[in-house]
Structure 1
Amino acid sequence: MSGRALLMWDDALTGYDFGAGHPMDPVRLALTMGLVRAYGLDRAVEVVAAKPAGDSTLRLVHREDYVAAVRAASADPGAADQAYGLGTLDDPAFAGMHEASALIAGQSVGAAEAVWRGEAAHAVNFAGGLHHAMPGSAAGFCIYNDASLAIARLLELGAERVAYVDVDVHHGDGVQAAFWDDPRVLTVSLHEHPRTLFPGTGWPEETGPSGAAEGGAVNVALPAGTGDAGWLRAFHSVVPELLADFRPQVLVTQHGADTHFEDPLAHLAVSLDAQRAVQVACHDLAHEYAEGRWVALGGGGYAVVDVVPRSWTHLVGVAAHAPVEPESVVPSSWRDEVYARTRQLGPGRMTDGLWPVAWRGWDEGYDPADRLDQAVLAARRAAFPLRGLLP
């Protein structure tokens, strides 16, 4: 296997644009790529662009009638069919929507193909991670589910065990649904509790159907307000043990930056430094359990200047084996770009000032009065015994 890392990028990815005032502002992608270049990470990875996903690829996950509805709405946004989740407040139709969405999907599928074929050890598509789209409908700012399509392509190529770990603040419901009854795929999602956040799913009891796929879905529903120490404790109390048991051939991870305390659409209190720590952990877990095969995706994130570009630039650096030091000063050229594009002042350093982040392992004791520990234990009790593991 090649040790190189790929960064999937095409300037046309910023065409995924729901319009002025929508939280999913494509400037977050442009600013991320600008920061990657400012740090010279585009020379530490190979920057490549894959073709848009064609209809045969999209149909690995999405229904034919849904793809046709997206095409129709793309050609005439005013005729979008809300029965397919199109033309809603969350997912307004826009001209070229099919093409932009298929391009994002194509990057994730291309990343998966390159990793599986040994052309690269790691591949990043920070424009991807659109994990809410369902086989027959759009949802939560997501038109095509690129994460599911990447996994489906891996299975089509012969993969027998693919693990998907989602640390976005929202439940990875679309990916869980796509592989609910497929024992070849393990989905693990750490997210804010469904009582307090969209999409209202991701309860610990959602563990997969009875039979061969039972225990194939694992959900850690975190209490609102969870900060760095609790978030890292939850991750390390669940994910490594599951991967050690499942032994995936490929690890696919989704790194939504909306867990951050500045994110306007959610209620966790995670720092950039903890996000970087989980990125490093996912990289290390890929090497430990998946022979280094790692596909890393973006996801949510709506603090589009202060948080998203820094978080995903760290992700690219980790994948490139050229990590950006948290205390490093952000290049002034990028801050000039931020001001030119947004009339906002960009952050000055690649840290929130909390590095290194301290946390306690699960083996250091359980506090029955602690809501975070209750959430972790609920997930372990629901899913671990189904996989022959102790809760």
Structure 2
Amino acid sequence: MAKYAGHQSSIKKAVFVYSPEQLDYKFSDTHPFNQKRLELTVDLLTSISVLDPKDIVTLRTATDEELLLGHDIRYINAVKMAGHGHLTEKQGEPFGIGTEDTPIFPKMHEASAKIVGGTLTACDYVMQEKSQHALNLGGGLHHGFKGRASGFCIYNDSTVAIKYMQKKYHARVLYIDTDAHHGDGVQWSFYDDPNVCTLSIHETGRYLFPGTGAVTERGSGQGYGTAFNFPIDAFTEDDSFLDVYKTALREITTYFKPDVILSQNGADAHYFDPLTHLYGTMNIYKEIPKLAHELAHEFCNGKWIAVGGGGYDIWRVVPRAWSLIWTEMTDQPTPAGKLPQAWLDKWQKESPVPLISTWMDPENLYDPIPRKAEITERNAQMLEKALYTLHHDKS
């Protein structure tokens, strides 16, 4: 079990940053972004006895000063006003709030600042070496921009957290984003910063929001060569996804040599996800945290912070996928076989779809893809182009 033991064995392996207040980040009962998935995940981890209450850390609220690391004051004030009924949808438009994607909801500033505070809490635990790793599944809101909300994301906790680690700990940060949507907000925040490397593997923007994340987006100025994008084709399956992920991540980490890894773990590359067109299964969610964990120990003295992100099949996909991050972080065996019957019975009453009763997906989840070889080949060519700066631009 002591897979990554050593001189740091006196500090905790991992902390789980969570508070039911994270469920207050709620647009409406029908909105696809639903933080109930946090409650489902915590309940699943608890029911298989892998989440000890003493590993749970309560989060704090990010201060305005901290939010200003990633956002401007006019925007923060607009969010505050909107959440207290002092801003109309029309007035919210320039700030990206009051839209169909990111509607106004009561106390939206307070709820959003708690999400950011959770990720900052995770950063402090890891950077102060109280814990090797930290997980804040409530975070990962990677589409938020300096002055406006976008794609369900009000404040961008990862952007604020990276700036915070730079300012407070002088850290060189590798940001890894495996959400099916491009990690645009984080990328653009550090596009010209040579001390932050952003890596996003996502469904090509030809078919999917936000439409960015081409291989040609490589950073600018001093930051040229520290932005990496891997836009995979629609209908990409596990093997091709993992080929791209494993090759890219190992090469980029070796090249960049970070002090700390921050990984965003959207669970929306799964076949069941209603908003995307990828054909991933639970196999990719078993492998994604394994490599991040391994590289954190190899290059960063174990420093690894993980956040959540997208994931819109909150019943069949997210709880299983996110549970695997925690078991990997804590060196516990990967759960296998059947999910606890008590958990299935409890939540099936609420779920609009039949739950999957096993940790891994059933065989033959979907019909064979006719263009499988073509998609795999295209992804391999894209991978080569995306790593061009590593292979050709070394002076």
Query: Is 271-280 or 184-193 further displaced after alignment?
Result: 271-280
1:371 has 2:378 as partner: yes
Of 242, 247, 264 in structure 1, the residue corresponding to residue 252 of structure 2 is: 242
Return the alpha-carbon distance in structure 2 between the equivalents of residues 368 and 302 of structure 1.
24
**How far apart are 1:367 and its partner, in Å?**
9.5
**How far apart are 1:33 and its partner, in Å?**
1.3
Q: Secondary structure at the match of 2:15?
A: strand
Q: 1:228 — aligned with what?
A: 238
Q: 1:61 — aligned with what?
A: 70
The percent identity for this pair of structures is 35
Of 355, 373, 394 in structure 2, the residue corresponding to residue 388 of structure 1 is: 394
Q: 1:369 to 1:332 in 2, by over 3 A?
A: closer
Amino acid in the other structure paired with 1:314: L
| Matches for 1:221-370 after TM superposition, within 5 Å | 221-325=231-335, 327-342=336-351, 344-353=353-362, 370=377
**How far apart are 1:374 and its partner, in Å?**
1.5
**How far apart are 1:275 and its partner, in Å?**
1.5
- 2:233·2:375 contact (CA, 8 Å) conserved in 1? no
Query: Is 274-283 or 333-342 further displaced after alignment?
Result: 333-342
Return the alpha-carbon distance in structure 1 between the equivalents of residues 283 and 292 of structure 2.
14
Q: RMSD value over aligned CA atoms? A: 2.0
Return the alpha-carbon distance in structure 2 between the equivalents of residues 336 and 104 of structure 1.
30
Q: Secondary structure at the match of 2:191?
A: coil
Return the alpha-carbon distance in structure 2 between the equivalents of residues 78 and 213 of structure 1.
37
1:163 has 2:169 as partner: no
Of 125, 131, 152 in structure 2, the residue corresponding to residue 120 of structure 1 is: 131
Amino acid in the other structure paired with 2:235: G
Of 108, 115, 122 in structure 2, the residue corresponding to residue 104 of structure 1 is: 115
Q: 1:213 — aligned with what?
A: 223
Return the alpha-carbon distance in structure 2 between the equivalents of residues 342 and 79 of structure 1.
34
Amino acid in the other structure paired with 2:390: F
**How far apart are 1:369 and its partner, in Å?**
8.6
Of 197, 202, 207 in structure 1, the residue corresponding to residue 208 of structure 2 is: 197
Q: 1:368 to 1:347 in 2, by over 3 A?
A: closer
Return the alpha-carbon distance in structure 1 between the equivalents of residues 292 and 258 of structure 2.
13
Runs of 4+ in 1 over 6 A off after TM superposition: 366-369
**How far apart are 1:328 and its partner, in Å?**
2.7
Return the alpha-carbon distance in structure 1 between the equivalents of residues 173 and 321 of structure 2.
25
- 1:223·1:375 contact (CA, 8 Å) conserved in 2? no
Query: Is 21-30 or 106-115 further displaced after alignment?
Result: 21-30
Q: 1:387 to 1:63 in 2, by over 3 A?
A: farther
Q: 2:33 — aligned with what?
A: 24
Encode CA deviations 1:79-118: one digit per residue, 9 max, x unaligned. 2411100000000010011111111110001101110110
Q: 1:360 — aligned with what?
A: none
Query: Is 260-269 or 334-343 further displaced after alignment?
Result: 334-343
Amino acid in the other structure paired with 1:52: T
Return the alpha-carbon distance in structure 2 between the equivalents of residues 135 and 251 of structure 1.
22
Return the alpha-carbon distance in structure 1 between the equivalents of residues 299 and 174 of structure 2.
10
Q: Secondary structure at the match of 1:41?
A: coil
Q: 1:311 to 1:278 in 2, by over 3 A?
A: same
Return the alpha-carbon distance in structure 2 between the equivalents of residues 151 and 235 of structure 1.
22
- 1:163·1:252 contact (CA, 8 Å) conserved in 2? yes
Return the alpha-carbon distance in structure 1 between the equivalents of residues 84 and 376 of structure 2.
55
Q: Secondary structure at the match of 2:202?
A: strand
**How far apart are 1:44 and its partner, in Å?**
8.0
- 2:236·2:376 contact (CA, 8 Å) conserved in 1? no
| Matches for 1:120-139 after TM superposition, within 5 Å | 120-139=131-150
Q: 1:193 to 1:45 in 2, by over 3 A?
A: farther
Return the alpha-carbon distance in structure 2 between the equivalents of residues 194 and 333 of structure 1.
40
Q: Secondary structure at the match of 1:34?
A: helix
Q: Name the count of aligned residue pairs.
A: 375
Gaps of 5+ in 2: 1-9, 364-372
Q: 1:373 to 1:100 in 2, by over 3 A?
A: same
1:182 has 2:214 as partner: no
1:150 has 2:161 as partner: yes
- 2:236·2:375 contact (CA, 8 Å) conserved in 1? no
1:82 has 2:93 as partner: yes
Q: 1:13 — aligned with what?
A: 22
Normalised to the residue count of structure 1, the TM-score between the two structures is 0.92
- 2:176·2:262 contact (CA, 8 Å) conserved in 1? yes
**How far apart are 1:153 and its partner, in Å?**
1.1
Q: Secondary structure at the match of 2:229?
A: strand
Q: 1:386 to 1:14 in 2, by over 3 A?
A: farther
Normalised to the residue count of structure 2, the TM-score between the two structures is 0.91
Query: Is 2-11 or 131-140 further displaced after alignment?
Result: 2-11
Q: Secondary structure at the match of 2:346?
A: helix
